[in-house]
Chains A and B, each alone.
Chain A
Amino acid sequence: MMETDASHSFSSDDGVYDCDSGSEGFVEDLVDDELCFASGDIPKLQFRKERSKVRWIEELGMAEVLEKKGKMWITTGISRNGKTYCSIEETLYLAEIGALDVLNVDDTPLPLSDLYAKLAEDREKYGCSWESFEVYRCLKSLGYIVGRHGVAWSMKNVKNKTNADDSVGESCSITDKGNVDDKFITDMFGNMYLGETKPIFDVFPPNSKFRKSSSGDPSFMLCRASVHPPSRQEIEDIETCSGQIPLKFYVVEHGRVSFLSFTKVDLPVLP
């Protein structure tokens, strides 16, 4: 943060605005980065030589992992009955960066356009909107570990879950035959929160030693904010369920993601 000039910082009584002092150099004019791309200059990510393979399973709204290549699987996908499943955002993220081949159940390729189409489906059919995906992608590309809120990384992790919904542990299962448990679907896509404002992701710091079986608590719960900023009551309602875990809210406007916290404090009584 900028250190304000001592001579200007307590001038609150004589009408000097900080911006008058020329100390405004702290924040430079932000260039709209989209305008930097002249036609033909748009960068392309390289397809990787070693790509993992998954099969999209419509009834689950998730992709079942068939072949794993690379270390990203330490921090991607949930483990159930010895198999790994990816959410739509995980699948799309890896597909975008060229690390994943996605197949249909009939083994035909599922192209990026179809994945984008799934994300665009009405009422967030798979539990994630475009905006939420932008947030997911932003954090993943910076190295954070991002999981869907309320969904355990693995069943061994269930004891470590601290949020109020323990029902994932009780009856959530995908049988070996690939039958779908209704409870599982509800946990993935249903929610305790009726409003627009609700936790979407659990975010963990970058960690090469991350273990799905003992992930520990997330650094923070990331909540989607609605069109309007959350009211104090809405924030408090979510805090009731989040316990000690900090909350952050994201809002996506014109492709820009902002993360805000509304932290309860108690200013000390000074001497």
Chain B
Amino acid sequence: MAPRWKGKTAEEPMSVIVSKLQTSLIESNAQGLLSGCVVLLEALPEQTKLLYRACIGRPVITAENDKQWHQLSFEEALYLCSVLKCIKVAGENKCAKSDEELWHYMVAKRVGFPVMFKAYSHLRRKNWVVRAGSQYGVDFVAYRYHPAFVHSEYAVLALPDEDGDVENARLKVWSDYHCTLRLCGSVAKTLLVLHICRNGEDVVSLSSLEHYNVEERIVTRWNPEASRENQTMIVKK
């Protein structure tokens, strides 16, 4: 499915937006607050704009005029913290946690988090916009750019490659495929499955995640009747 742009003129490349955000957050010593399954981040006006343009986090609507709060998902927070290294994250004691502490906290809180985070960071590193996909019955939705500019292309499921991994197992029976494909089709998205392979790594840690392998496959349904209409008569070579 080719990307469908909405006709507005895109501004800067996503990598530039993210880079500016990274720089700004570092300069302001940004620190987020871990709370349940989110990280709350207080942002300066320029950071708010950049967070919006990079599609990271959701604004928290408050009456405060001078401050803007954002809530980040675990994936987003850990990405900013451990990959872009531009924020710190603290618990209620206001002490910044190390990357490993943060990792352990998140892994304990969210079932299947390692696979989800690997998938998120795999796509973000390629400068794709990645947002939650639960309202489409999938893990993530991936856009080529900010959703205001382009229709989403991919509905993403992150599956572990090892049989032993039951936490993230989906698409186990055919009806799972029919269901997911039908849903994806009705919202004009292509199903993208990210097969996450541990590559022999035993321990599931933030550093071992670096060695995981991600294989991308799109799952599509073929309609023999529709395809046939597009067939031109083959001329013998």
Contacts and interface: CB of A to CB of B under 8 A. Distances in A.
Interface string A252-271: 01000011111111111111
Contact of B187 (A4, A13, A261): A4
Chain A interface: which size bin? Answer: 35 or more
Given A10-B148, A259-B222, A270 B15 contact: yes
Interface string A97-140: 00000000000000000000000000000000000000000110
Given A26-B186, A270-B127, A9 B174 contact: no
Given A15-B135, A263-B218, A1 B233 contact: no
Contact of A10 (B152, B171, B193): B152
B161 interface: yes
A149 B178 CA distance: 26
A209 B234 contact: yes
Contacts of A206: 228, 231, 233-234
A48 interface: no
A9 B186 contact: no
Contacts of A142: 224-225, 228
Nearest to A12: B131
Interface in B98-121: none
Contacts of A15: 135
Given A2-B188, A9-B151, A265 B218 contact: yes
A139 B132 CA distance: 39
Given A229-B172, A235-B217, 19 more contacts: A1-B188, A2-B185, A9-B147, A9-B152, A12-B147, A15-B135, A18-B136, A24-B186, A143-B228, A144-B228, A229-B171, A260-B222, A261-B218, A262-B219, A267-B123, A269-B127, A270-B13, A270-B15, A270-B128
7 contacts: A228-B172, A229-B171, A261-B219, A266-B216, A270-B128, A271-B13, A271-B15
